Amino acid sequence: MTLVFVYGTLKRGGENHGWIAQQQFVAEAITAPLYRMYDLGGYPGMVRSSEGLSIQGEIWSVDEAGLARLDVLEDTDGGEYGRVRVQLEGEFSTQPVEGYIYLRSIEGRREVGACW
């Protein structure tokens, strides 16, 4: 099982929650202030930033098949997102938690703050 931080449409109540709903919810969480989040047209993209914010999200325990499905949704093979270790605050700060970082240009995209 892999711990995965989600911050947008995969969260409970989000449009794409069905992609992760069969996995196990662990907790709400917040990143270290190392990221910024942008509106990509109906879904967010989180990027690393030297002037980052603490992004709000959820941690899910995801099995191998679930990770493969999420990688398809996030288009990791096509280069839209990369699944990487994400730095979290609090009780999860020392645990390996992965998340999806947006890899394409954010030029002209609207910043959305810390919560989608």
Catalytic residues: 74
β-partners of residue 44 are 39
Cα angle value 71/77/80 (rounded, 5°): 80
> What type of residue is 3?
L
- Report d(CA 78, CA 107) in Å as an integer: 19
